[in-house]
Amino acid sequence: MLRAESGATIEEIVAALDWRPHTIRGAMSGALKKKLGLTITSEKVEGRGRAYMIADD
């Protein structure tokens, strides 16, 4: 979901994985950013809220 061009919102990930929002934010921060070294970006999208995506390096 995070690799899609439009990214994914926390709410979309919650619906897909049935995880709590704080768990998703922790996974993005801990596993994806710190352990795997991926760059996570976000942007505010009109009508959707904040969308997160993995940046292409």
| Domain boundaries along the sequence of the chain | 8-54
Say if CB 8 and CB 53 are below 8 A apart: yes
Taking 3-state DSSP, the helix, strand and coil percentages for the chain, each rounded to the nearest 5, stand at 40, 25, 35
Say if CB 3 and CB 56 are below 8 A apart: no
pLDDT at 57: 67
Say if CB 12 and CB 50 are below 8 A apart: no
pLDDT digits (tens, 9 = 90+) for 1-57: 999 999 999 999 999 999 999 999 999 999 999 999 999 999 999 999 999 999 986
| pTM score | 0.87
pLDDT at 56: 83
